[in-house]
Structure 1
């Protein structure tokens, strides 16, 4: 709806009121929605993976490394 009023010189001024969303606001809402969906989806996948996947296996320590660590600590390696 247009508002109509007269200014000080009795000129009729018609002021258009833009109702609706600004295109920049629409882009902002769409981008924010996609970001929110992305983070919620990642969190859901993370929770699902924590529940269903087995814990990661540690790499086996080689006998050579174990012997070196024992010597560093001052304890003789077993079997020697």
Structure 2
């Protein structure tokens, strides 16, 4: 087939896209997704950094003292007589 000076029909679309190269901009859905994803990632990374900082700087939690009554009950369960009896 001889097209002469005209390009083949399959190239007409490419030619029109090149000549009408107006920027359509970004897809609004993509922008929202990127912003929300960025905020979520920032939140998670920030929490991790704060957690690691707290692990290094805060003193360990103090355990509650065990009452004498509870110690006596545990020893009786194990079959050991409580001291003083």
TM-score w.r.t. length of structure 2: 0.72
Count of residues in correspondence between the two structures: 68
Gap regions ≥5 residues in structure 2: 1-8, 10-15
| Consecutive unaligned residues in structure 1, runs of 5 or more | 1-6, 8-13
Instruction: Point out which structure has higher relative CO (alpha carbons under 8 A, 6+ apart).
Output: 1
Given the alignment of the two structures, is residue 70 of structure 1 paired with residue 75 of structure 2, yes or no? yes
Superposition CA RMSD, Å: 1.7
Rg larger for: 2
In 2, distance between residues paired with 1:78 and 1:69? 13
Q: TM-score, normalised by structure 1?
A: 0.76
